[in-house]
Structure 1
């Protein structure tokens, strides 16, 4: 009784084809895209914090942030000016929230979105800036 055998070259071609297809599928489906939003958002938050930390005050204090956190009255007086300044600093497609010991300005931070944050210590408490894409 004779048995039929595949030529060795056909087996090699079949294995090579399977290997090439599996590598191609690995590249096409294998890894998710890296999160590029987080580092960019952190940079936006840090830049905003740096600008606010060096801006001159409108009424008193060493910087705009120190003026805003100096008292609840100062925060209430400077609330809209702070919001307008942050809006001018950030790109149009980025929303923000600035939280101080005396209150917050901006949009409440939504759940489940990538955010960037920066915290600036002042003599009267810390200011936290959170940004995210609209």
Structure 2
């Protein structure tokens, strides 16, 4: 009685395909997902900085940012307006902290959380914007 046999080349092809599939699955499942949150948050912070640098001021004819960092009195007067403007710029699920030489607006930055930052140098000091997901 004759026995059926698979040709050796078909066995080799099947084993090779299984090996390639196993390696591909190993890379696909074992590779960690890249952290894109930090990059997106940095983009939000930089966009916010750009907007408040170009927004017109309410009182002194410069920009909103220039007005806020002009003096302690100007910061105290414009603090609420700056906070509302940044809230309107950012998505609802993003919290922020804007730190100026005269004080901060927004929420305190939590420890051990991914943040995005932007720093703006002005004639009156440095303004730092930090944002993070709520």
Does TM-score exceed 0.5, indicating one fold? yes
Q: Distance in 2 between matches of 1:127 and 1:61?
A: 19
Matched position secondary structure for 2:42: helix
Superposition map of 1:6-85 within 5 A: 16=16, 19-20=19-20, 22-85=22-85
Q: Deviations over 1:89-113 (max 9, x none)?
A: 0010111000000000001111121
Q: Distance in 1 between matches of 2:121 and 2:20?
A: 56
Cα deviation for residue 23 of structure 1 reads: 1.2
- Poorly superposed stretches of 4+, deviation over 2 Å: 11-22
Matched position secondary structure for 1:117: strand
Q: Output the aligned Cα RMSD.
A: 2.2
Cα deviation for residue 22 of structure 1 reads: 3.7
Q: Distance in 1 between matches of 2:40 and 2:53?
A: 20
2:111 is equivalent to residue 111 of structure 1: yes
- TM-score, length-scaled by structure 2: 0.83
Q: Distance in 1 between matches of 2:28 and 2:39?
A: 25
**Structure 2 residue aligned with 1:4:** none
- TM-score, length-scaled by structure 1: 0.83
Q: Distance in 1 between matches of 2:28 and 2:54?
A: 47
**Structure 1 residue aligned with 2:98:** 98
**Structure 2 residue aligned with 1:88:** 88
Q: Distance in 2 between matches of 1:53 and 1:39?
A: 21
Q: Which moved more, 1:88-97 or 1:61-70?
A: 61-70
Q: Distance in 2 between matches of 1:66 and 1:91?
A: 24
Q: Which moved more, 1:91-100 or 1:28-37?
A: 28-37
Q: Distance in 1 between matches of 2:61 and 2:103?
A: 18
